Amino acid sequence: MQGTIKSVRLDGRFGFIKPHGFHPRGELFFHATDLRGIDFDEQLIERDVLFELGKRDGRQRALNVRSI
């Protein structure tokens, strides 16, 4: 899937991605450990990314997040 990173919480090392197209939850959670080849910092905001939709800890989230 493709989407855009909309927010990051540096202190918690997580953020949210808005998928391109329709998604019933609106935005998807991702953790810094889900990033592949991308540094976790404020410059992530508004970056277009590719990701896999998956579940971890019983929650739907973005996995294997990488730059387009």
CA atoms within 13 A on the CB side of 22: 1
- At residue 25 the predicted structure's pLDDT band, cuts being 50, 70 and 90, is low
Position 24 pLDDT exceeds 90: no
Position 23 pLDDT exceeds 70: no
Range 2-54+63-67: architecture per CATH: Beta Barrel (2.40)
Q: Cα(65)–Cα(56) distance, rounded to whole angstroms?
A: 14
- Strand partners of residue 30: 15
pLDDT digit string, tens, across residues 26-66: 899 999 999 999 999 989 999 999 999 999 888 889 999 99
Provide the residue type at 20 as one letter: H
DSSP state of 33: G
